[in-house]
Chain A
Amino acid sequence: MTESNQHPLSPEKLAAELADQAVSAQEVAPSGEPDAVSPAVAPEVPSAAVQSVDHGVQVPLASGGLSAPITTTPRLASKADVLDDIAGHAPAVIELPPGKHLLDVADLRVAYPQKGMFAKPVEILHGVSIAVEEGRTMGLVGESGCGKTTLGRAVLGLAPITGGTVTFDGKDIAHAGRGERRKLSRDIQVVFQDPYTSLNPSMTIGDILSEPLGIQGISGADARKRVRDLVDRVKLPSDSMDRLPREFSGGQRQRVAIARALALQPRLIVCDEPVSALDLSTQARVLDLFLEIQQTLGVSYLFVSHDLDVIRHVSHRVAVMFKGEIVEQGLAEKVTEHPEHPYTQRLLLASPVPDPDKQAQRRTERRAHTAAMAAAAAAAAA
């Protein structure tokens, strides 16, 4: 704290430096702070970092402590649109995993047709690339309307793909037909957000779980045994089979949805906000279950959530989505703890921590970041 105060990071100074575009990242970053990992000087991804600085909107994030005594933050002003503008223009910080991937999404575009004869389709994803490794979790985080759910649905074949490729295990499945999809359903499965509408209210749990098995020609005693195993694996009461979804709590329903996804022993599960409708303690238990399943079965997850804390907890790698584009992608710890892209930084600083003093500190950091961004925007406009 004391060290960092020797280098006050005022928004004016920052803006000036950012506008200048020639200043090295080291000077901007709060030096002297031993544990302050300034992302702008992170050596792992030199090209991306340098590129960011070159464009002049990179805002270093003081991760170690309260290092920016900002006094000029205009009170209460909403700068969301200005910030969105800036964040949208900052270059993406992308680092794809090396080697072979289970799922490769490259330059994917999705556009929904509009009502009316001559209406133009609305493009939701503008060329998105992510990769999911075998047995690992790719976390996809972003705010409402950014297109993260659409990306998951596109992988599942539930969204109209207008460009790019989706490669699963070496095969392009972007335009797979019904028959191919049925074969793929053995490998790719889904857990949806809302456990209340993702289970047919008039079917028993046993029917729900055996339905996908029936499609693949597994029935009778085999299917019953498999369903019993699934119920055990997701830790549902053993008498669940003959009961209806409405007899279960939200957390238990989500366990049923997970069991249904596991029924065909898939290699990839798309998890679309699977815990955001759940209470805190239920969320913790369901996340524990997700992790346990991955550790025992080696399944990969494409885990979509708006909650950076959830994403950090379950992911090996993380992609951050903003307005239909990936703005940052890399190892989970780096993206969620020391983000480089201004939008990811804003996302991190906005998620509150459950301690009043630490939260007050994060609040101050957030305001400093906001001010710096606004100043950068002003400088860019000038």
Chain B
Amino acid sequence: MRYILCADFGSTYTKLTAIDMQDLRTLGTSAAYTTVQTNILDGYANALDKLEKDIGRLDYDKRLAASSAAGGLKMIAVGLVPRLTSNAAKLAASSAGAKLIATYSYDLSDAELAEIFDYKPDMILLSGGIDGGNKDVILNNAEKIARIECSFPVVVAGNKSAADEVARILESGGKEAVITENVMPELNKLNIESAKAAIRELFIRRIIDAKGLAEANAMMSLEIIPTPLAVFNACEALSDFGTLTAVDVGGATTDVYSMADGLPENSAVIEKGLREPFAKRSIEGDLGVRYSIDSLIKEAGIERIAAASGASPEDVIEHSRKCAQDTSAVFPPGSTDAKIDNALAGECVRISMNRHAGRLETVYTNMGEVQIQTGKDLTKTKYLFGTGGSVINSDAPEDIMAKALYSKADYDILKPENPKIIIDRNNILTAMGLLTRVDKKSALSIMKKELMNKEDM
């Protein structure tokens, strides 16, 4: 095996990366507009033309692809209690590479059902009740979901004692139901691998076709996977070098990945709530520098962005108007708009990391001070990776990523204290994640050479 071609069908660009498996290096990359309206392969052909102009025509032994085109894998997670099975369902869908658009708890209301109808999800993950626990809510929700007039498949990952009936109810409403293991079989015990596998299988069998990717899929050596899953796989492989967090800032969402057990650094700390998985992904649908710019500015505060960029609040408003008009807008380095873009990306990083990392709370008891940890302690993670257009194309990517670090202002949030910051400058993370599917060792060697400086290892 000499050459491998990796494709990433993005929402805006189709990106190609050519890899030399003998010399263990990337040979070149190219990008062209994604052509989801006509034929996705038009954009692919355009990108390939560009690549060939750069590195010449090569005989590829394998072609691999990921896709987030046509909205990505749009999923909704449904559970019972927000902090318990709803959260478990959310973690399962996220780690499968879904674009999670909503999470619901308890009995679904008519308003929520109308929302689900409007979202037109590609798939729903339905959980609720630990094994042998509550059955009523998942059964009721199955009845309600069965009546929604959309044809999406449902992954049933709740109380095993209710699973068969839940599947029957869904099927009677014309929905395909796939039963998997409960995402939370025992209280506060997470079990997401089975649900993750079912999501992947459904993506291959039903979603690729529905997204107009069938023809592209037929050209590939392995089935197309969701782009975030490729990044997830790359991060999982990179954890061979040490614990890490990674932030992917996009136009619509910001994704955070952490590869660390996240257990308390201090043995006197009491853990509370769900113990999160070693490999965790979270996705923030309200944080993005283009499509989600309005919700981002609302969350961060216009004054904060103005202060960080040295621009006036009016400039920020003007910038958001420009970005909303042209979601593929790129601004010249050093311009006010570019500075605002940097500040916006920094806020995506800061807020998404605040939501992803665990918290440490000090409680005063008559036995003295006690510290309680919920979520993952990421303070000692060794590496912090930055990727996504607005990070890697910025003139100050390290400054943007520094917003992910532990800060005294958020003293109770267990964010990385002193990681080595690494920027995915050549945008190889997705391609490397794809490569891990055929040859993890080579992918690691290439990442070691091209992403990380050897002396830091």
Question: A and B: real partners?
Answer: no
Point out residues on B near A: beta carbons under 8 Å. none
